[in-house]
Amino acid sequence: MAAYILRRLMQAVIVMLAVGFIAFGMFNFVGDPVTNFIGQDATPEDHERMRAALGLDQPFYVQYARFAANAAQGEFGTSYRLGMKVSAVLAERLPATLELVFAAAAISILVGVPLGVYTGIHRYGLLSRAFLTFSLVGISLPTFLIGILLILVFSVILGWLPSFGRGQVVPVGWWSTGYLTQSGLRSLILPAITLGLFQTTLIMRLVRAEMLEVLRTDYIKFARARGLTERAINFGHALKNTMVPVITIMGLQIGGLIAFAIITETVFQWPGMGLLFLQAIQYADVPVMSCYLILVAMMFVLINLAVDLLYYAVDPRLRADRGAVRGRQV
C-alpha cells in the first residue's frame, strides 16, 4: 500500500515538472512581460536593465532550471503585476476559489440529487418533464451567459443580490472566509449557482438514469412485495445504490469546477485564482501563470490519487485482484 502511494506520488512529481516545463515554454508566446509593464517612455536601456533585473535576459533553459529549482523549495518568485510574492498571492486567492467551488458542489448535490430522484420516480410527470427541459438549459448554455443573465435579473432588475465581488471576508487563521458575513453569503449565491448549474443538471440526469435502472431490479420488487413503504424503498434501497457512480463523478468534477471557475470568477469579479490567472495572462505575468498551472496540475493529481485510494478502500475486488496478480507474478 505504501509503495503504491509512493509510486503515485513519484508520478505526480513528474507530471508537475512536465506541466511546469510546458507552461513555461508556452509563456514565451504571450509576449515580453517587460514590454507589457514598462511605461511607453522607457528607453531601450530601461528595457534591458529591467530584463536583466528579472533574469529574463537568460536563455529559456536557464530560466526554466532556475524556476524549477526555486519552485522545488516552494519559492515561486514575485508577481510582475502585483509586486507581491506569488505564493502569498495564491494563498490569498485560494480560499475564494475553494469556497466558491465548495458552495457550487453543495448546490449541485443538494439540488441535483432530489431532482434526480423525483424525475426518476415520476417518470412521466409534468413536473419531471419541466425539470428535464430546464436541465437542458443548464447543460447547453455557456457559463458566462448564465452568469450575465442572473446578474441582469437578480442585480439589475430586482436589485436583490450584488453583481460582483466577494463581500466582506473574515480571516480565520491564514484562510479568509466569506461564509460568516451576510454580504459574503449574499455575494456567494449568484456565482455559486452559475458555477454549479452544469454539475447540478449532470447529477440530476445521472441520478435519474441510475434510479430508473435500479427501480427495475429484482430486489426492489422484493422490497415492494415485503410491503415496505415507498419512502423506504426509494430512499433506503434505490437511492443508496445509485450513489456510488454519483460520488465518483462528483469527485472527478471537483477538478472541473476549479477549472470552470475561471469563467465564473471573471464574470462576477470573484477574487479567486481563476480571475488572477486570466489577469496574469493579459499582463504576461509569467510567475503567476506558471505557479497557477502547476497548482492546478497538483490538485488534479491529488484528486485522482484520492479517488484511486478510495476505490481501493471501497471495492474489495480491487484488492483481491491485485493480490491475485501479485501471487501469479511470484
Partner 1 sequence: MRRFSIALGVCALALVTMPAGVDAKTFRYSTSGDVIGMDPHINNEGPTNTMKGNIYEGLVHRTPDLKVHPSLATEWSNPEPTIWRFKLRQGVKFHDGTPFNADDVVFSFKRVTHEQSEMNTYVATVAEVKKIDDFTVDFVTKGPDPILHQNLTLFYIMSKSWTEKNNSVNPVRGATSEIYANRHTNGTGPFKLVERVPDTRTVLEPNKDWWGKPTHNLTRAEFKPITNNATRVAALLSGEIDMMYPVPLQDVPRLNQTQGVKVMEGPELRTIFLGFDQERDELVASSVKGKNPFKDVRVRRAFYQAVDIDQIKRVVMRNAATPTGLMIAPGIVGFDPELNKRYPFDPEAAKKLLAEAGYPQGFEVQLDCPNDRYVNDEAICLAVVPMLARIGVKVNLNAQTKGKHFDKIGLKEKRNTAFYMLGWTPGTYDGHNALYNLMVLKDKGSGAWNSGAYSNTKVEELTAKMASETNQEKRLAMLKDAFRIHKEDFGHLPLHPQALAWGVRSEPPASTTPTRPKRRVGVGH
Of the candidate residues 21, 102, 134, 164, the single one contacting partner 1 (CB under 8 A): 164
261 touches partner 1 by CB under 8 A: no
Nearer to partner 1, 75 or 213 (CB): 75
Q: At what angle do helices 86-121 and 182-215 cross, to 10 degrees?
A: 40
* Strand 175-177 with 170-172, pairing: antiparallel
Nearer to partner 1, 39 or 327 (CB): 39
Smallest distance, Å, CB 279 to partner 1? 7
Smallest distance, Å, CB 7 to partner 1? 34
Nearer to partner 1, 41 or 218 (CB): 41
171 touches partner 1 by CB under 8 A: no
CA distances from 15 to 6, 72, 74, 253, 267 (A): 14, 14, 17, 20, 31
Single-letter amino acid, residue 131: F
186 touches partner 1 by CB under 8 A: no
- Of 134-142, 155-163, 220-228, 231-239, the window that binds partner 1 (rule: CB under 8 A) is 155-163
**How many Å apart are CA 105 and CA 103, to the nearest integer?**
5
Q: Say how many residues touch partner 1, by CB under 8 A.
A: 57
Smallest distance, Å, CB 224 to partner 1? 52
Yes or no: say if 29 and 291 are a contact pair by the CB < 8 Å rule: no
Longest dimension (CA), the chain: 87
Of the candidate residues 58, 63, 155, 241, the single one contacting partner 1 (CB under 8 A): 155
**How many Å apart are CA 24 and CA 94, to the nearest integer?**
22
Of the candidate residues 62, 84, 232, 310, the single one contacting partner 1 (CB under 8 A): 84
243 touches partner 1 by CB under 8 A: no
Q: What are phi and psi of 177, to 5 degrees?
A: -115, 145
Smallest distance, Å, CB 51 to partner 1? 10
**How many Å apart are CA 12 and CA 262, to the nearest integer?**
24
181 touches partner 1 by CB under 8 A: no
Nearer to partner 1, 64 or 277 (CB): 277
141 touches partner 1 by CB under 8 A: no
**How many Å apart are CA 163 and CA 186, to the nearest integer?**
10
Yes or no: say if 117 and 211 are a contact pair by the CB < 8 Å rule: yes
189 touches partner 1 by CB under 8 A: no
Yes or no: say if 76 and 290 are a contact pair by the CB < 8 Å rule: yes
Smallest distance, Å, CB 40 to partner 1? 7
Of the candidate residues 111, 233, 284, 291, the single one contacting partner 1 (CB under 8 A): 284
CA dihedral sign, ordered 160, 164, 168, 169: positive
Which H or E run contains 171?
strand 170-172
- Report CA dihedral (15, 21, 22, 27) to the nearest 10 degrees: 140
Cβ neighbours of residue 127 closer than 8 Å, sequence gap 6 or more = 118
Smallest distance, Å, CB 228 to partner 1? 51
Cβ neighbours of residue 26 closer than 8 Å, sequence gap 6 or more = none
Of the candidate residues 1, 40, 173, 316, the single one contacting partner 1 (CB under 8 A): 40
Nearer to partner 1, 148 or 249 (CB): 148
Residues 54-73: x where in contact with partner 1 by CB under 8 A, - otherwise, as a string: xx------------------
For partner 1, the binding residues (CB under 8 A) are 29-33, 35-47, 49-50, 53-55, 75, 77-78, 80-85, 88-89, 92, 148, 151-152, 155-156, 159, 162-166, 266-269, 271, 275-276, 278-279, 282, 284
